[in-house]
Amino acid sequence: MTETPRISAGQIGRSIPRVEARAKVTGTAEYIHNLRLPGMLWAKICRSTVPHGRIRHIDTSAAAAITGVQRIVTAADIRNVIAEPYYGPAFHDQPILAEEKVRHVGEPVAAVLAADPRIAEQAAQAIIVDYEPLPAVYDEVEALTSSVFVHDQLKPAGTFADLKHLAGRRDTNIALDFHLRRGDVEKAFAAAEQVFEHTFRTQQTMHTPLEPHVAVADVRDGAAVIHSSTQNPSFVRIEIARLLGWPENRVRVKTAFLGGGFGAKVYVKVEALAVALSMLAGRPVKIALTMEEQFFTISRHASTFRIKSAVDKEGRITARHCEVFYNGGAYADIGPRVAQKSGFTAAGPYDIPNVAIDSFEIYTNRPPAGAFRGFGMPQLVWAYECHADLIARGLGIDAVEFRRKNLLREGMPHATGTIMRDAATAAVLDRLAQRIGWGQPFNRGNGTLRRGRGIAFGLKAAISPTTSVATVAIAADGSCTVYCGTVDMGQGSTTAMAQIAAETLELDAEAVRVVAPDTDVTPYDMGTLGSRSTFHMGHAVRLAAEEAKAKLAALAAETGVPPGTNLPLAELFRRKYGMQAGTVVGSGSYLPSYVSPDHATGMTPNATPFWMVGGSAAEIEIDTETGQVRVLRLVTVADAGTPVNPRIVETQLTGAAIQHLGMTLFENMEFTDGQLRNPNFAEYKIPGIRDLPEQLTGEIVDAVQQSGPYGAKGVGETGTFAVAPAIANAIHDAVGVRLMELPITPEAVYRALRTAAGDPLGDT
C-alpha cells in the first residue's frame, strides 16, 4: 500500500453541489423503474399468506384463465433453469420461489408473467395455494430455545469461517453466535460497588426507500444482463453467476440512480427471480415491487439486548456483560454479519477492562432482516446509552461526566484488543455537550408541557476485509472519467469520488465524470454499504488516479517534455499521438489490512479499517396529558475524518437523524400471529415534514483519519447511532420515566407516565 497523501490540492473539503443534482432536480435522471425493454414481460408475485406452512397444492387454473397471462411459474419451473435455486450471502437458505415450505408471511410462492402488469397482478392474486399450517416462532429470545425450527437444515454459503460449525445443523434457529471475552467478568462483577442490569428491545422496521426494489433481467445467447436498483452490483453478478454456473463475464449487472437504499438493496433481492423468469420466458422480465411487498422483502432486525454493568466507587465501569439477540426472520441474508460486526462493539465507546459479549442472529418466522443503515448499531446504542444514563442517575453523576470518566480514548485498547486510532470520541462528546448547552439552565416547561435534554453517542467498526477496485481514464483532451462500482443512492458518493480523483490529478472536481456502476464497465467493488465507500473506494480511486498520473508523467518524459513544464494534457497527447488521440488508463485496487476476531475470544489486534464515532443530543417537549413527544432540537455530531465534501457530510448526518427519528418515535412493523398488520404508509408512519425538530443540525468535529484517502472516512451511518437513546434520555430528563423499548409512541409514553404515577393502564 502506498503512503496516503494528506496535503490537499484544494479539492478535498470543497462543498461543491452534487454532480447529479441538476438531473435530479430537472427530472431527467433515469431510474430502473422507468426502464422498459422491447418484448419485456412484467412479473407479479403470489406470496405466502401463512407464517409457516407446508405447500400442499398450488391451484393456478383461475390465474391461467385470465386473458393476457403469458406464464405462471412455481418452484418446479425454476429448477428447470437453475439446478439449486437457493441464494444468500451468509447461508444459501433462500429459495427463489418457495419449495415445499413457506417460512414467513409474504414469501414468494409463484410468479405470473404478462405484458401488462395489471393483468399479471390480477392473476397473481387469483392463484390459490393450499397450506398445511406449521407451528411458528416469532420472538428472537423464544426462538433460541424453541422446538420449532425455521429451517430443516442449515446451509452456510461457505463465505464466512465463523458459520462453518453450523453446517448441517437441524436443531437450532441460531444463524450466528459471536462471543467476546476480555478480562475476568465474573470476578469483576463480584467485586463491584454497584451492578446495573437492564433489558432493552427494539422493533422490526423497514427501510422505506421511496423506490422499491426493481430489476429487469434479460438473459439471451448465454449471457445475462440485469438492470437492478442494487447497492452491490458486483455481489449480484457473482451470486447470479454462481446460481447459473456461469463465469462472471457472462453476467452483467447495471445500476442507475437509486431512489434510496439504506441497506435494503444489498445482496440478491429480486434479481435471481427476474433472471430465472427471463430464462423461462425467453424474454426480458421486469419485477418492480410495490411498497407493500417491500415490507416482506427485507427489514431491520428487531432485537433484545440484556446489558449488565459493574461499577466501582469512582463511577468507573469495571465489567460489562452484553447479550444481544437479533431477530433475523426466516432467511439469514447478511444478518449473521450484523450480529457479529455490530456485536463486538456492543460494550460501547467505553474503556471497560472486563467484557463478555454474546451476540446471536436468530431465525424466526418473520420477514427477513438484514443490513439497514447502521448495521445493528442503532439497536446497540439504544441499549447501551440508555443504560449509561441509568447508571449515571443511579450513581448520581452527571451523564456527560460519567461518559467522560469512562471514555475509550485515543491509544486505549478496545474490548477486542484493537488499539483505538483516529476515533474522536472525546471531541464528539464535547461538541454534543456544547451544542445542546449541557449543564446550562434552560426552559424546562411547566404544567402539562415539560422539557428535557438528553445525549448519547456510539462507536462503530467498518465491515472488513473488503475490496474496492477503480479505474481512471484520461482522454486525449485531458478530461477525466472515473470508473467505480460505488452506487450513488443519494449519499453523494459520485461527487466525493470526483473530488478525490480531482485532488490526485489536480483537476477541478466539477470536470471529472464518474460513470454509473455496471459490472461490464466498472471493476469489482464489494458493495455500497457499511459506510465503506469513501474510505475503500476513495483509496481505490486515488490509487487509480495516481497510476494514471504516473503514466502521464512517463508520457511527458517520453515525448521530451522537461520535468516541471506546465504543458496542457491535450498538448501532451497531441505530441505523442500526432492528433487528439489516445487514452491513459490507471487502475487501483484497495484492500485494508485486517485480522478476523478469534472465534473463541472475539479478540483481534485489527478490528476495523477505521472507527465511526457519532452521537446525538436532543431537547424535547412532552405533553403529559397525551404522551406526545415533540423534538425541539436535534444535534448530530460525527467524526468524519477530513470531510471530502462537508456540506454533503452534514446532510448525511441530518438525513440519518431524520430517518432514525422515525425508528425512535413512529415506525413499527406490527405483527399478529406472524401476520404483518401495517405494510403501508397509511399505517406505518415515517417522519413527515411536521415531525422534524425546529432545530436540526449535523456537525463534524475536527479530525483526520490518518489511514484514509486524504484523511477521510465513511459517515453514511454515523448519524443513525444515537437518536433514539438521546431522545429517551431527554424524556427521562423531562418527566422522570424510562422507556425500555422502541418506538416511543405517545401511548408508550403515556403508559409509562401512568405507571410511574402508580396508576398503570390495564390492557384494553
The residues, any chain, with a CB within 8 Å of residue 639's CB and separated by 6 or more, are 422, 423, 424, 425, 427, 428, 611, 612, 613, 614, 700, 701, 703, 713, 718
Cell of 734: 423531562
Q: What is the contact mask toward a copy of itself in residues 146 to 165, using x (rule: CB under 8 A)?
A: -------------x------
Asked if 608 is part of the footprint of a copy of itself (rule: CB under 8 A), the reply reads: no
Q: Is residue 559 a contact point for a copy of itself (CB under 8 A)?
A: no
- Does residue 469 belong to the site contacting a copy of itself (CB under 8 A)? yes
Transcribe 170-222 into DSSP letters.
-S--EEEEEEEEES-HHHHHHT-SEEEEEEEEE--B----SS--EEEEEEETT
| 460 φ/ψ angles, rounded to the nearest 5 degrees | -130, 145
Is 211 an annotated catalytic residue?
A: no
* Per CB under 8 A, 245 contacts a copy of itself: no
From CA 335, how far away is CA 267, in angstroms rounded? 11
649: amino acid identity, one letter: V
571 binds a copy of itself (CB under 8 A): no
SS3 99: coil
Number of shown-chain residues binding a copy of itself (CB under 8 A): 54
- Which of 15, 22, 412, 421 binds a copy of itself (CB under 8 A)? It is 22
Residue ranges in 155-214 that form contacts with a copy of itself under rule CB under 8 A: 159
Choose, from 20, 121, 717, 741, the residue flagged as catalytic: 717
Nearer residue to a copy of itself within complex by CB, 455 or 470: 470
- Residue 591 within binding range of a copy of itself, rule CB under 8 A: yes
Shortest approach of a copy of itself to residue 250 CB, angstroms? 7
Residue 177 β-bridge partners: 360
Q: Tell me if 304 contacts a copy of itself by CB under 8 A.
A: no
Q: Is residue 567 within 8 Å of 556, Cβ to Cβ? A: yes
C-alpha 705: how far from its chain's center? 22
Q: Does 587 bind a copy of itself (CB under 8 A)?
A: yes
Window of 361-369, 432-440, 475-483, 607-615 that interacts with a copy of itself by CB under 8 A: 475-483
CB contact at 8 A, 259 and 211: yes
Q: Is there binding between residue 334 and a copy of itself (CB under 8 A)? A: no
Find the length of the chain.
764
Maximum Cα interatomic distance, the chain, rounded to a whole number of Å: 89
Q: Which stretch binds a copy of itself (CB under 8 A): 26-34, 174-182, 207-215, 450-458?
A: 26-34
- The interface region with a copy of itself, picked from 571-579, 682-690, 705-713, 726-734 by CB under 8 A, is 571-579
Q: Which amino acid is at 582?
A: G
Interface pick for a copy of itself out of 280, 317, 324, 526 (rule CB under 8 A)? 526
Q: Let me know: does 644 contact 538? Beta carbons within 8 Å.
A: yes
Q: Are residues 169 and 396 in contact, defined by beta-carbon separation less than 8 angstroms?
A: no
Is 585 a binding residue for a copy of itself by CB under 8 A? The answer is: yes
Q: How near is the Cβ of 573 to a copy of itself at its closest, in Å? A: 9
According to the binding rule CB under 8 A, does residue 737 interact with a copy of itself? no
Q: What is the rounded CA–CA span in Å between residue 593 and residue 601?
A: 20
Q: Is 578 in the site for a copy of itself (CB under 8 A)?
A: yes
Stretch that binds a copy of itself, among 202-210, 304-312, 472-480, 751-759 (CB under 8 A): 472-480
Alpha carbon of 385 to those of 200, 305, 322, 626, 669: distances in Å? 11, 12, 13, 26, 24
Instruction: Decide: is 290 part of the binding site for a copy of itself (CB under 8 A).
Output: no
Could you list the residues that contact a copy of itself (CB under 8 A)? 22-23, 26, 28, 34, 36, 38, 159, 220-222, 234, 238, 241, 247-250, 465-467, 469, 471, 473, 475-481, 511-513, 515, 518, 520-521, 523-524, 526, 576-585, 587, 589, 591
As annotated, the active-site residues are 717
